[in-house]
Amino acid sequence: MLKQLILENWKSFRYAELPLDPLTVLIGTNASGKSNVVEALEFLKRIVQGEKVEVALAGDKRLPSIRGGIEWAAYQTETKFTLKVVVQFENDSSDYIHSITVGTKPFPHILENYTLAREDTASDQKNDASYFLHEHTYEYNLLQKKLDVMNFSFLDDGESQVEITLNEILKYIENIFILNPIPSKMRDYVKVSEIYESDASNMAGVLATLPEKNKAEIEATLSRYIKDLPEGDIQKVWAEKVGRFGTDAMLYCQEEWKPGHITEIDARSMSDGTLRFLAILTALLTRPEGSQLVIEEIDNGLHPSRAELLVRILREIGSKRKIDILLTTHNPALLDALGPEIVPFVVVAHRDKETGESQLTLLEDIENLPILLASGTLGRLATKGAIEKSLSDNK
């Protein structure tokens, strides 16, 4: 699983480390750097998928641009940036670090691109013994497996153990999925598809193309959870292929408007909150196990009274399917629903009052946190801006 993200001279960050846990919550005011963190993960995924640097930053007809494009990718006057992810496997004492350094001038290009393993000592402390699994200075195509691998240890089938490990590491990065549901795009008929779009526009197409048994299980789970959302009005949710050739799909649901009276409607009549809720659940239920799911402003369009339900679902399904979740939020109700046990997994994005650079601070590392929490809940503190004020005062 992804264990940590490291940012060096990336956009508004000079240097920052983001720990990644089964459920990580990133909070902070507007323009604090939260979206820059998310875009770092998006950029890494694009590179691992084989996109050229210029396309990964500036976008093209297929991909939207990273905000600011090439010009604002590096911190202020810097002309290069480095992004790293730390990966850890189960029952493995090593940390695997994948790093990419990109120069932005005179044109965008990769300066360094490597993966290394850093082993633990008997005392469980990191030492300096690192060995490279992979290193080169050119862009690579993962699908073609053009890998310059060191430390070959060939297995019977001719594939090296190092290459197998490297492919697993890159797969974790490739399985980062950034979800930003846009309800207005989810209401139309869509093409059937196996690849879930980041805006959830083709949710119906993905559900409709699932194998029959898997489809029935997922739709039953969606129906079970959605019943608690709009006061129990929705009784069932499903997707169907439509059209003469069955190449399109639509999302449907049954609503009980009054006792004993069931009405079927399609996505065109569903509320924004319902569609966003279903989009999040669908991602949790259809992404490959071991994925990193990133959801910006997860509570958009969701009534505050449903925050606790959403948190429970994230924890239940994420834990069951081994999907790690990074979410950003401003919602005080959601922060309160997370409960005090989430404190070690809350990270605050904020600006240094002198340099203006973005920084990431673990909530539990704030010196006067006990005093802050004694004065109110996490949601209340966020509403008052007390957390950011405390960080600024401690400088």
Q: Output the pLDDT for position 152.
A: 32
pLDDT tens, N- to C-terminus, the chain (395 residues):
899 999 999 999 999 999 999 999 999 988 899 999 999 999 999 999 999 999 999 999 989 999 999 999 999 989 999 999 999 887 777 788 999 999 999 999 999 888 887 654 333 443 344 455 555 433 333 323 333 333 333 334 445 566 777 888 899 999 999 999 999 999 999 999 999 999 999 999 999 999 999 999 999 999 999 887 755 588 899 999 999 999 999 999 998 877 778 899 999 999 898 999 999 999 999 999 999 999 988 877 777 778 888 888 999 999 999 999 999 988 888 888 888 888 999 999 999 989 999 999 999 999 888 898 888 888 888 888 888 888 877 66
Query: What are residue 84's DSSP bridge partners?
Result: 6, 99
Q: Helix, strand, or coil here: 342?
A: helix
Q: Are 280 and 181 in contact (CB under 8 A)?
A: yes
- Give the global pTM: 0.88
Q: Output the pLDDT for position 256.
A: 84
Structure tokens given for 342: 């989430």
Residue indicated by tokens 């060939």: 154
Query: What are residue 160's DSSP bridge partners?
Result: 154
Q: Output the pLDDT for position 110.
A: 93
Q: Output the pLDDT for position 161.
A: 64
What is the distance between the alpha carbons of residues 246 and 241, in angstroms, rounded to a whole number? 5
How many C-beta atoms lie closer than 10 Å to residue 249's C-beta?
A: 25
Q: Output the pLDDT for position 127.
A: 39
**Alpha helices (H) in 304-356, listed in sequence order:** 307-321, 332-338
Q: Are 199 and 185 in contact (CB under 8 A)?
A: yes
Parallel, antiparallel, or unpaired: how do β-strands 126-136 and 109-120 relate?
Answer: antiparallel
